[in-house]
Structure 1
């Protein structure tokens, strides 16, 4: 079994590269624990079972467990109103309850999205108080609580805050006393101070476009939706508790609660529990959750009926631990492993050794319809293919074989296909989460500068306290936020536009002049920007 797993991981770079820790837990025992790559490239420190990783959103199940313990103790109820514990949270006109936060049915805008829309990214510093203020200034929701299930990090940010309000302890303190200490998870904590030094912590990495890797350091001091530091060894202890609960009153009902799916207002059940995605893989019931943040990525995949779990912790953003976990699980379930191409692009980008002719590359260029408002465009420059994804993002494609290209930053695999009547009529666009067949379509590069001028100007969003500047260049209509690089907006229809941050709809006065626009991003909708 170990030999087969090693063969599966043979495609990982073996020298001077980040990597991962892997554990397989079967019937309550860790039957395999393997480590690959380096925790710290500068110090040449290898990953081992005690290496500490940030597990991103995989942390949500621990915040949910804290809430479950408070419910078990009678200190909290799923029907409690959120405003009882979060002062100054607006009254949205509908009941907003703890269950809506747990199951992502609240309609709350995602605070990470709101921060990004203010011009901040994962490199910026902000803390829980700042994130809460972003939420408190949003007067409305994306939808009526309970009508939909839509993932939002704000839900678990608030749950972490509520744990503190109810218990009188920080989330870090409560989780340590009631979860980590009882289970012997001595190298696990909610990391609520980015400047705090953590022994044996892996460094998170991104591929460097010039080759090799670059460090990714986050300064965000927010926990609840993420922010958990842990080890592969500690997570095996956590997994074992799902079969023999040692927390709280040691009642199996606690574990049952965590695996209970949510329900919408119309009583439709959906596949999310207490910080756990509830679904199936190859016809088998699973509980799982992944995470990706600041160069780290993780997956905890559990087959409760088979009593099998696979845990993957990585310190390279372009690895796909969810795919890796599924492949390893297939081996232990006695099935043939899935194709491993989905996470092959995790290698560091290098100068391509495969040289393709200019004529062949030209055949691949053009627009491809992915079903979005703006076609994806493949262009050729200096003997290389570039991918224009969205309004302006340009990514370099590395040839792996004739017709097959990869892009490591977003873990993209592109395969150009041939059929009768055309050399390259379509492409297959793959990421770890999806596969899309994209037909080739024409691209219109004409820029109607005069037609775009009415959209120009400065627009203010009162709920975000930010100004967006729209202006026209020879490239088209562009948008800038503070000192961030501008990006293109693509007019898809009269007064509708698409950009890298979302969808725009413009509204006019009686004299046909533009007065405002609304911005929808999926995780933050109905944001109003008034023209100054």
Structure 2
């Protein structure tokens, strides 16, 4: 504890503003109230910081960084930043572009000879923008039998990605968040420079900015003084450890604290590493093949908040929850790092921002806005819409239903329901989100709906829910299934008229037969299986189409 206090004192002497001397007491009290539930002293909590111009004007810790030794959170506490790390990987690539050592349009296989030829050109830009179509590493690892609490090394991920045989979607067609892409970017840095991402960022970014407490933590056995530990809540006042044993970097694993990350914030508008052109490249939004612009740039999101330009990113691994938001035109930044699994880092960040940021967004006259209330949702003719009522499922396992109530069309998904507003004969939109649309169509015997997002299209087909199914029918699904891409096996067994997904590494998971070709389970990493059949209708395997994984084939071998 003496050593911890001496570190804090030293930082104060070096000029870090670790108290809220630049904020009115009334504002400090409001900030304290946001994090009041973590101030009891017997729970995990967070560290928070606010940057203005060239100073940290507020920095404070709440709750405990370590429950077992009752070490409090302080601004100097080291945190695992999870996906907030990605912007540093992105900036490493930006600096290499500036040095002329690579181009964003280069094929990744130019630098990563181990990556398979998937008959599509995947560029470095695709990796940065999450438009590569490459499946996500964490879900692939989980399916292969690796628990996310296991030690996961860079080489494990590389080996896994080197065996991939298909993409979720063609490059540039869809935004599909992929941690794999950022691990590959770290490997590209290594290929180009001969240095690991940790080594390169230390010399090119962290040391020049004076971020002496920051590094990419690529060795889980390394001791880091003054670090926080992560937890999950299991009761009102009970917590358990949430282990994190990553030995990989690129998508995650940045270790830093409030004073250090504050220096990075300042670099967005007071350039010390790189210049305005480099920051502009880092914050250039991606585009899909159809020209649609994304909110995601090169490891960081770019949008507006209360009319101001905003660069932001969230992070979440184990029990760590982090958020960074930068408002470059105000020369301000807001940082929140939590060490509890249900901590709302993003919500807390914006609660702080609301206290200090004035809304300059242009308000549209209420009279000019088209009503989007329950009256606007009233259907003049329900008969033409009734054919769309029922349950639908997509290739990725998304399941939702539609029903007509009180002359309005309602959708229901994941327990949420709301009315829809008709845009034209067969197209409806969600009341609060007019950019999200449902376009219905009838194609022969099939009733279809396309869910159209600004950056994604999802296709679903109407189905009839399977009723009581005999054991003879269920036996058709039983057997042993093998994935050559992951070199792992899963079984489907039958017991008491129920199907179960089995694996030597996990507990059995009950499968629900949605219809003859779709099975769902409670396992997050493979909660939807799409059945594959041959010309005679015999089951030959299944695809895992779930979350950030599509078209992962398992062949029936027994």
TM-score normalised to structure 1 length: 0.78
Shift of 1:509: 3.8
Shift of 1:305: 2.3
1:36, 1:475 → 2: CA distance? 52
1:293-346, CA deviations, whole angstroms, 9 ceiling, x for partnerless residues?
Answer: 1211100012222222210011111101011001110111147xxxxxxxxxxx
Match of 2:548 among 523, 527, 532: 523
Residue aligning to 2:350: 326
Residue aligning to 2:492: 470
Contact preservation (8 Å) 2:137, 2:179: yes
Q: For 1:525, what is the secondary structure of its paired residue?
A: strand
2:468, 2:32 → 1: CA distance? 53
1:245-280, CA deviations, whole angstroms, 9 ceiling, x for partnerless residues?
Answer: 111xx4211111111111122222111111101123
- The correspondence of residues 375-394 of structure 1 with structure 2, limited to 5 A, is none
* Bigger mean CA offset, 55-64 vs 279-288: 279-288
Q: For 2:36, what is the secondary structure of its paired residue?
A: coil
Residue aligning to 2:300: 276
Residue aligning to 2:538: 513
Contact preservation (8 Å) 1:312, 1:324: yes
Contact preservation (8 Å) 1:28, 1:243: no
Contact preservation (8 Å) 2:166, 2:552: no
**Which ranges of structure 1 fall in alignment gaps of 5 or more residues?**
336-368, 376-388, 391-413, 418-442
Shift of 1:374: 8.0
1:323-381, CA deviations, whole angstroms, 9 ceiling, x for partnerless residues?
Answer: 1001110111147xxxxxxxxxxxxxxxxxxxxxxxxxxxxxxxxx9995389xxxxxx
Shift of 1:70: 0.6
Residue aligning to 2:310: 286
1:391-420, CA deviations, whole angstroms, 9 ceiling, x for partnerless residues?
Answer: xxxxxxxxxxxxxxxxxxxxxxx9999xxx
Contact preservation (8 Å) 1:449, 1:473: no
Shift of 1:219: 2.1
1:283, 1:175 → 2: CA distance? 33
1:173, 1:505 → 2: CA distance? 43
* Bigger mean CA offset, 203-212 vs 98-107: 203-212
1:20-53, CA deviations, whole angstroms, 9 ceiling, x for partnerless residues?
Answer: 0010112332111121011111111111121001
Match of 2:528 among 503, 519, 524: 503
Q: For 2:399, what is the secondary structure of its paired residue?
A: coil
1:221 is the counterpart of 2:221: no
Change (3 A) 1:508 1:140: closer
Contact preservation (8 Å) 1:373, 1:498: no
1:475, 1:45 → 2: CA distance? 52
Residue aligning to 1:406: none
Contact preservation (8 Å) 1:300, 1:310: yes
2:135, 2:529 → 1: CA distance? 17
Q: For 1:310, what is the secondary structure of its paired residue?
A: strand
Shift of 1:490: 1.5
Q: Report the structure number with the largest CA radius of gyration.
A: 2
Shift of 1:284: 3.5
* Bigger mean CA offset, 444-453 vs 474-483: 444-453
- The correspondence of residues 86-105 of structure 1 with structure 2, limited to 5 A, is 86-105=112-131
Shift of 1:510: 4.7
- The correspondence of residues 205-220 of structure 1 with structure 2, limited to 5 A, is 205-209=231-235, 211-220=237-246
Contact preservation (8 Å) 1:56, 1:296: yes
Contact preservation (8 Å) 2:470, 2:497: no
Residue aligning to 1:201: 227
- The correspondence of residues 396-415 of structure 1 with structure 2, limited to 5 A, is none
* Bigger mean CA offset, 260-269 vs 321-330: 260-269
1:259 is the counterpart of 2:258: no
- The correspondence of residues 216-365 of structure 1 with structure 2, limited to 5 A, is 216-247=242-273, 250-334=274-358
TM-score normalised to structure 2 length: 0.74
Shift of 1:281: 3.1
Match of 2:60 among 34, 41, 50: 34
1:301, 1:256 → 2: CA distance? 16
Q: For 1:129, what is the secondary structure of its paired residue?
A: helix
2:291, 2:54 → 1: CA distance? 35
**Which ranges of structure 2 fall in alignment gaps of 5 or more residues?**
1-26, 360-390, 402-412, 419-464
Match of 2:82 among 56, 60, 82: 56
1:485 is the counterpart of 2:484: no
Runs of 4+ in structure 1 displaced over 4 angstroms? 369-372, 414-417, 443-448
Q: For 2:189, what is the secondary structure of its paired residue?
A: helix
1:122, 1:172 → 2: CA distance? 22
Contact preservation (8 Å) 1:374, 1:498: no
Contact preservation (8 Å) 1:187, 1:230: yes
Contact preservation (8 Å) 2:86, 2:250: yes
Please tell me the root mean square deviation across aligned C-alpha atoms, in Å: 2.4
Match of 2:479 among 457, 470, 477: 457
Contact preservation (8 Å) 2:168, 2:549: yes
Change (3 A) 1:487 1:13: farther
Change (3 A) 1:374 1:72: same
1:187, 1:447 → 2: CA distance? 60
Shift of 1:474: 2.8
Change (3 A) 1:415 1:63: closer
Change (3 A) 1:445 1:305: farther
2:35, 2:542 → 1: CA distance? 49
